């Protein structure tokens, strides 16, 4: 070691001693303490490709060198004891029909066939639904509201059918100002008077298993849908704060006006 290197080593050693960690190995090499953290997370997607299920795992630390690391799942499988994951870049996954969907499985991280860490997981409790799609917003003039609809692939599935959806919407360019609504159906009405007139809005939806047998995580967001609210007319202003009676009158005048 150079003098400078030795000095640096000493300083590092002292710092380590103070913080109570020992990252300074016998042979004088720096040992990266982080390397020992092979913690990982997984999620399942049931019936993603016909009757096939998908299980995806990844290390929590994205900088981990996973070149020689393998994942394996054992227990709660049909006909086999264990299955080895496929690897795509930093993701490990299994697509199979062999999940029992009852009871815990053990997930192993292996280096040269040796278990270096493991975790118990229940496939049905780490479900991440598919993102909803086909978000649409229709303005209903007579009702002074907007009808929001969307679709989900889960309505056609056998297992994870019951979801809670979160609809989030905001006026465009008003960052971080999302209004959020939870619902179990795929339909929602937004009152016109709760939205700014003549404004561009964006809206998106995501889903989570509705905590019965299946539990888990939020899906990705659906693609965002954009819609514009109508301008405020003189009649709107006149009938402004809408009481039911005025509302009825206004509907009448709107109808008369159309003729």
Ligand X SMILES: *[C@@H]1O[C@H](CO)[C@@H](O)[C@H](O)[C@H]1NC(C)=O
Query: What are the residue ranges of helices labelled H in the chain?
Result: 3-19, 234-238, 244-258
Site track for ligand X across 18-57, x = CB under 6 A: ----------------------------------------
Task: Scan residues 87-126 and list those touching ligand X (CB under 6 A).
Answer: 106, 115-118
258 binds ligand X (CB under 6 A): no
| Euclidean distance between CA atoms 225 and 173, whole angstroms | 14
236 binds ligand X (CB under 6 A): no
CA–CA–CA angle 222, 228, 233 (5° rounding): 155
Given candidates 67, 79, 185, 257, which one binds ligand X under the rule CB under 6 A?
Answer: 67
185 binds ligand X (CB under 6 A): no
Q: Which is nearer to ligand X, 118 or 236 (CB)?
A: 118
Q: Which is nearer to ligand X, 222 or 239 (CB)?
A: 222
DSSP E strands in 98-144: the ranges are 105-111, 114-121, 133-140
Q: Which is nearer to ligand X, 77 or 239 (CB)?
A: 77
Task: Scan residues 145-174 and list those touching ligand X (CB under 6 A).
Answer: 151, 166
Q: Which is nearer to ligand X, 52 or 117 (CB)?
A: 117
184 binds ligand X (CB under 6 A): no
Q: Which is nearer to ligand X, 65 or 176 (CB)?
A: 65
Compute the least distance from the CB of residue 172 to ligand X, in Å.
Answer: 21
Query: How many residues are there in the chain?
Result: 259
| Euclidean distance between CA atoms 230 and 197, whole angstroms | 6
Compute the least distance from the CB of residue 189 to ligand X, in Å.
Answer: 16
| Euclidean distance between CA atoms 165 and 150, whole angstroms | 10
Compute the least distance from the CB of residue 255 to ligand X, in Å.
Answer: 30
Q: Which residues of 192-226 are buried (b: 16+ CB within 10 A; e: fewer)?
A: beebeeeeebbbbbbbbbeeeebebeebeebeebe
10 contact partners, CB below 8 Å, separation of at least 6: none
Given candidates 65, 79, 212, 257, which one binds ligand X under the rule CB under 6 A?
Answer: 65
Neighbours of 14 (CB within 10 A): 10
Count of residues in contact with ligand X, rule CB under 6 A: 12
Please report, as ranges, the residues that interact with ligand X according to CB under 6 A. Answer: 65, 67-68, 106, 115-118, 151, 166, 180, 182
């Amino acid at each position: 070691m150079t003098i400078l290197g030795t000095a640096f080593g000493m300083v590092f050693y002292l710092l380590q001693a103070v913080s109570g960690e020992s990252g300074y190995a016998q042979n004088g090499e720096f040992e990266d303490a982080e390397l020992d953290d092979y913690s990982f997370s997984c999620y399942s997607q049931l019936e993603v490709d016909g009757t096939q299920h998908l299980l995806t795992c990844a290390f929590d630390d994205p900088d981990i060198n996973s070149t020689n690391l393998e994942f394996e799942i054992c227990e709660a499988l049909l006909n086999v004891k264990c299955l080895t994951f496929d690897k795509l870049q930093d993701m490990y996954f299994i697509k199979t029909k062999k999940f029992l969907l009852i009871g815990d499985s053990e997930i192993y991280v292996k280096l040269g066939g040796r278990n270096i860490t493991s975790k118990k997981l229940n496939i049905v409790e780490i479900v991440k639904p598919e993102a909803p799609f086909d978000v649409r917003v229709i303005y209903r003039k007579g009702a002074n509201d907007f009808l929001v609809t969307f679709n989900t692939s889960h309505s056609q599935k056998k297992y994870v059918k019951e979801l809670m959806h979160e609809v989030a919407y905001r006026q465009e360019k008003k960052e971080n100002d999302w209004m959020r609504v939870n619902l179990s159906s795929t339909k929602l009405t937004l009152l016109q008077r709760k939205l700014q007139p003549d404004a561009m809005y964006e809206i998106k939806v995501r889903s989570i298993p509705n905590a019965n047998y299946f539990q888990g995580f939020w899906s990705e967001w659906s693609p965002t849908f954009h819609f514009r609210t109508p301008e405020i007319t003189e009649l709107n202003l006149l009938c402004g704060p809408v009481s039911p009676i005025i509302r009825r009158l206004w509907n009448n005048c709107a109808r008369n006006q159309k003729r």
